[in-house]
Amino acid sequence: MALATPEQTFPSLNNVEGQKEVQFFGHPRGLSVLFFTEFWERFSFYGLRAILLLFLTAPAAISGMEFDITTAGFIYGLYTSMAYLASVPGGWIADNLIGQRRAIMYGGILISVGNLALSMHGTQFLAIGLTLVVMGTGLLKPNVSAIVGGLYSPDESAKRDSGFSIFYMGINLGAFVAPLIVGGLGERVNWHLGFLAASIGMAIGVVWFRFGAKHLGSIGHLQASSEAISKAKRTLIIACISLATISAAVAAAHFSGILTITILTMRSFFNIAYVIIPLAFFGVVFADKALTIVEKKRFIVIAIFFMLYAVFLGSFEQAGTTLTLFARDSTDRMLFGTTLPVSYFQSLNAMFIVIFASVFAFIWIKLGDRQPASPMKFAIGLILTGIGFWVLSVGAGFAASGTKVSPLWLVVVYLIHTFGELCISPVGLSNITKLAPARYVSQAMGIWFLGASLGNYIAGQAAGYIEHSSASEVFFIVFCISSGVGVVIALVSKPITKLMGGVK
C-alpha cells in the first residue's frame, strides 16, 4: 500500500473557501462528520466483539451456534485478525482506485449488510456476515483516519494532534456504548437482535457521512491519474483471479479427498503465514541498497516494535475471549437484584481510556525530556499487561472451587490493562511514522497493522487453552510471557534506543 502523508494527499480544509469557520470544538466542522462516522463503525466492531464468542458457544436452544470453545476461539481470532489485516488492501484500493470517500461509503455499507447477515440464522449467514464485515472494515477504518489528517495544513501540527485526540474520543465512545447496547440486546433478548442493532448503527453512520461529506471540501477524492487507475485495475484483476484460482484449487482438493481442511489445517496455514509475511517484508527492506545504515538500524527497531505489539495485543485482546469466558463462568454478576450481561465488562477499557488518556498525555508532556524512551514505554506496557493477568490468575484460583468471584477482579484487570495500552498503542503508532523513511512509511504502517492482526489471532487461539487447562494456569502463563518479554525489553532498552538514531 502506497499512502502519501495526509498533508501531501489532501489540501487543508481550512484552505477551502467558505470552510474557514471552525465549528466543532474549535476544529473544522468536517471533524464532526468523521467523529460520528468512526463512532458508529467502532460501535459495530466492538458490539460484534462483545457478543461473538458468546454467540458462537451458546446452545442452539437460545439461537447460538453451539461450537466448542476451541472452534469458536479460532473463528473469533480469524475474524478480528482479518479485520485489521484488511486495512492494508483497503488503503491501497482507496489510494489507487476509488478514493477515501467512496471507500468509507462502500465500507460502511458492507459492514451494515454483514451485520444484517449475522442477524439471520444459519452457518452460511455467519460466514457471509463475517466476511462482509472484514471487507468493510478494511475499506473504512484506514481511510476515515487518513481524512482526519487532511483537515489540517502542514503548519497546523499541534492542532492536528488535538483533532486526532478528539477523533480518538469518538473511537472510545463507540467502544464504550457498543457492549452496553449490542451486548445487552444480544444476551438479554436475542443474539441476532444484537447483530441487527450493530447493522442499524453502521447504517446511521453511512447516512451521516453521506450527507455530512459536503463539510470536507475537496478532501478524500481520488487523486490518481487515469493511467495509474488503469494500472491499478489490472493489478486488482490479476490479484482477484489469482486468489479465485487458488481458492478453487483448494476447494477441489478438499471435495475430492486429496486435502482435508480442518480447523487444525487452517490454523497451521495461518501460523506459517504470520511468520513468512513479516520475514519477507523485512528481508526485502534490508536488501534495499538505497537505505543508509541509520535507516536499516531504525528498521530493526520497527521489527522489534512489530513483535512487541503482537505480544501485547495477543494478551490485551483476550478481552473478547478468555476474559469474556471468565466473566461468564466465574464472575458473580448480580447487581441490585439483576444479572449484568457478560458483554458489559468490555465497556470498562473504553471508559478508562476516556478518563485516563489525557492524564497520560499530561504526564508525558510534564516529564518532557525526562520521560522514558519509547522502548521503555513498551516494556512498562507489557509488564502492566502481564500484571493484569497475574491478578486474574489469583481471582481464577479463588473461583476454581466453584464459587463465583467479585466483578471487581475484572474491573482491576481492565484498569491495569488500560494503563498498559496507553504506554504502547499511541507510542508505537507515532514511532512507526518517525522511524520509517518517507518512501516506506505506508508499508511500515501495513506491518504495524499486521502486528495488530497477529495479536488478535493469538488472542482468539488462547480461548481454546481454557477448554483443556484451568483458567488460573492459562492466565499465569500469559502473565509470564507478557511480563517476561517486558522485563527483557527493559534490560535492553538503551541499545534499542541507540538504534533509533535520535528519533524520540
Local structure of 218: helix, strand or coil: coil
DSSP collapsed to 3 states, 6-59: HHHHCCCHHHCCCCCCEEECCEECHHHHHHHHHHHHHHHHHHHHHHHHHHHHCC
Whether residue 313 contacts residue 451, with contact meaning beta carbons closer than 8 Å, is answered with yes
CA gap 453, 309 in Å, rounded: 10
pLDDT in tens, 198-207: 999 999 999 9
Whether residue 380 contacts residue 367, with contact meaning beta carbons closer than 8 Å, is answered with no
Per-residue confidence (pLDDT) for residue 442, from 0 to 100: 67
- Please state whether beta strands 27-28 and 22-24 pair in parallel, antiparallel, or not at all (unpaired): antiparallel
Domain chopping of the chain, boundaries: 15-224, 288-504
Fold of 288-504: Growth Hormone; Chain: A; (1.20.1250)
In angstroms and rounded to an integer, the radius of gyration of the C-alpha atoms of the chain is: 22
Per-residue confidence (pLDDT) for residue 349, from 0 to 100: 94
pLDDT in tens, 119-150: 998 999 999 999 999 999 999 988 888 788 77
219 pLDDT tier (thresholds 50, 70, 90): confident
| Segment holding 334, helix H or strand E | strand 334-335
Q: Which of 207, 206, 197, 46 is nearest to 140 (CA)?
A: 206
pLDDT above 50 for 407: yes
Whether residue 31 contacts residue 151, with contact meaning beta carbons closer than 8 Å, is answered with yes
pTM assigned to the model: 0.85
Per-residue confidence (pLDDT) for residue 91, from 0 to 100: 84
Amino acid at 159: K
Cα 274 from chain centre: 16
For every residue of 58-126, DSSP letters joined together read S-GGGT-----HHHHHHHHHHHHHHHHHTHHHHHHHIIIIIHHHHHHHHHHHHHHHHHHHHTS-SHHHH
More confident residue, 439 or 20: 439
CA gap 96, 16 in Å, rounded: 24
Q: What is the DSSP letter of 501?
A: T
pLDDT above 80 for 467: no
Whether residue 485 contacts residue 371, with contact meaning beta carbons closer than 8 Å, is answered with no
Angle between helices 322-330 and 471-491 (to 10 degrees): 140
> Rounded to a whole number, what is the distance in angstroms from the first to the last CA of the chain?
26
Average pLDDT across the chain, whole number:
88
Structure-derived torsion over alpha carbons of residues 50, 54, 55, 59, reported in degrees to the nearest 10: -160
Cα angle 228, 225, 160 (rounded to 5 degrees) comes to 105
pLDDT in tens, 304-335: 999 999 999 999 999 999 999 999 999 999 98
503 pLDDT tier (thresholds 50, 70, 90): confident
Whether residue 41 contacts residue 202, with contact meaning beta carbons closer than 8 Å, is answered with yes
> CATH: 1.20.1250.20, 3.30.1330.10, 3.20.20.70, 3.40.50.300. Which one for 15-224?
1.20.1250.20
Share of the chain above pLDDT 90, in %: 54
- Please state whether beta strands 27-28 and 334-335 pair in parallel, antiparallel, or not at all (unpaired): unpaired
Per-residue confidence (pLDDT) for residue 364, from 0 to 100: 81
CA gap 177, 47 in Å, rounded: 8
Among the residue ranges 55-59, 134-138, 281-285, 490-494, the one predicted with the least confidence is: 281-285
More confident residue, 165 or 269: 269
